[in-house]
Amino acid sequence: MRPPRKGEPQDRPGDEPAEDDRGDRQDLQKRQDRQDFASLMGDATRFEPVPRPAAKKPPSPPPRPRNVEAQPHFVFPDPLEPRFARARNCPERELNRLLRGDPPPVERLDLHGFDQKRAQRQLARFLESAAARDAGCVLVIHGHGGGSGDAGGVLKEMLPGWLTSGSCGPNVRAFAPAQRRDGGEGAIYLLIEAHRTRNGTRRRG
């Protein structure tokens, strides 16, 4: 190593900061930063995240009545109410009147306590007789089902299919849920399609 020339600064021990001194100053600065941050946040309130409510599933539509899709001679205006329908030759205004209980029922059939087979037989006989006598509007009581202790819920589901098919279909002009005064959800109005003779007049009993 050459000796320093005249006028050149000479390195002296202790001119460069030691590595340990730099590390101590950095640690001191970090501690100071943490203390400053803590003093700033000392009065801050911590908010807990608010849980989001669980998304509600939309209500499922009621099941379609059995055999209804195969009945082209009937119109169901409301897909969510299978007990509301009219024959294609029945004007819509008659169906809307029936829904209001007009005309009032003149006869009634109570199916409480019947199983499906017996209820269907009784319904067919009742409608045949009502059509032969031109009864106009009748009331069929099927019950609410659930905790009623009978098969009301099953009969309520099966009725639209029975009323639009088989021996019952030709005798039915329209049907609609009953008003509360006549049984509400546990009963149904039926508008009877009267039988006609060959010359086109109504046949009465």
| pLDDT > 90? residue 107 | yes
Q: Look at residue 7 in the predicted model and tell me its pLDDT.
A: 59
pLDDT level of residue 69 (50, 70, 90 thresholds)? very low
Average pLDDT for residues 3-29, to the nearest whole number?
61
Average pLDDT for residues 37-57, to the nearest whole number?
65
Kindly give the residue spans of alpha helices, DSSP state H, lying in 47-194: 92-99, 116-132, 152-163
| pLDDT > 70? residue 177 | yes
| pLDDT > 80? residue 38 | no
23: enclosing H helix or E strand: helix 19-41
- Residues in Cβ contact with 74 at an 8 Å cutoff, skipping those fewer than 6 apart: 68, 85, 86, 87, 88, 164, 169
d(CA 174, CA 110): 19
Beta strands in the chain (DSSP E): 74-75, 85-87, 107-110, 137-141, 172-177, 187-192
**pTM, to two decimals:** 0.61
d(CA 120, CA 31): 89
Q: Look at residue 203 in the predicted model and tell me its pLDDT.
A: 45
Q: Look at residue 198 in the predicted model and tell me its pLDDT.
A: 45
Q: Residue ranges of the domains in the chain?
A: 81-180
Q: Look at residue 176 in the predicted model and tell me its pLDDT.
A: 97
Q: Look at residue 199 in the predicted model and tell me its pLDDT.
A: 45
d(CA 189, CA 191): 7
d(CA 130, CA 124): 10
* CA dihedral over 109, 113, 115, 117, signed as positive or negative: negative
